[in-house]
Amino acid sequence: MRLVLAVLVVLSLGTAAAVAAPFDSDPLSLIEAIYKTYQTDNPGLPHIYSKRLHALIDKDEKETPEGMVGRIDWDVFVDGQDWKLTELKIALVSKSADKAQVRATFKNFGEPSNQLFDLVREDGHWRIDDITKTLPPRWTMSKILLDDPDAFPDAPKDAQ
């Protein structure tokens, strides 16, 4: 739990090396900058989550007993504990004045992944409002944090 929490804190508060600013001036640049940090031993960027998603992460942290694993026990950006990313492609799916979607496709240790990022513009910056893995086994970050029964739509119903 603490490893996952540390990753989430690093991603939300940031300790990564400086990236060409401003990394959050457009949705595509934000997601590209995040994945660029995975080429280092210190992935993550500061202040990347929307107020809504950040509040859900904080709530999960507060509800998780000391020494226990929270609702998310993996790195959502690489869909795993560790990473060896190849074939990374990041593309803008849609964009309006205050909302956008960006898709990241890659292989992590040879396993294909397809992440869809929903972004919102808050206080003049693009922020991640949700992350959905669109290849089975699918998941949606906010639904996991809310204990939504449809958080893992491919899981057997009796396992949820």
Average pLDDT, the chain: 87
Using one digit for the tens of pLDDT, what is the confidence trace for 53-107? 999 999 999 999 999 999 999 999 999 999 999 999 999 999 999 999 999 999 9
Do the beta carbons of residue 30 and residue 126 sit within 8 Å?
yes
The whole-number pLDDT of residue 159 equals: 56
For 4-42, the DSSP string reads HHHHHHHHHH--SPP-SSPTTSSHHHHHHHHHHGGGSSS
pLDDT at residue 129 in the model: 98
Q: 99, 148, 140, 40: which is closest to 10 by C-alpha?
A: 40
Question: Can you give the pTM of this predicted structure?
Answer: 0.84
